[in-house]
Amino acid sequence: MNVKDELFRKRELAGLKFILAFRVLFLMITISATLILAVSWIEQVLVGILISIALLVCLVFYQWLKKGKYLRFVGYTGALIDTLLLLFLPILWHISVGGDSVSRAYVLKSANIQ
């Protein structure tokens, strides 16, 4: 491997570690807020399970990044996890506040779901 490729690999690894730390922080804040503001126990359980799985995956990713392995897989899978969380959390919040009896715009425009 030449110097340029090694430099790109180090920068990619540093970026993936930074994003992983930010992802874990986001997950911790989200699970804390959900446990405090949840409307129903089903929401608490579903969001707790979803975020716990994501945290376990982040732990595995951290171990791989520490060893410098699977960088491309960690990057793409991390982006997929972020997308799925941002897709499913608003859906769960909408269901927990009443589902079809509440306008979907409520979830999008509301500062906090209560």
pLDDT tens-digit series, residues 15-71? 999 999 998 898 888 778 777 777 677 777 877 887 888 889 889 999 999 998 898
Amino acid sitting at position 7: L
39 in Cβ contact with 97 (< 8 Å) = yes
pLDDT > 70? residue 101: no
97 in Cβ contact with 107 (< 8 Å) = yes
34 in Cβ contact with 43 (< 8 Å) = yes
Which has more confidence, 23 or 101?
23
Distance, C-alpha 33 to centroid of its chain? 14
What tokens appear for 59 in the block?
């732990």
What tokens appear for 84 in the block?
């799925």
Reported pTM: 0.69
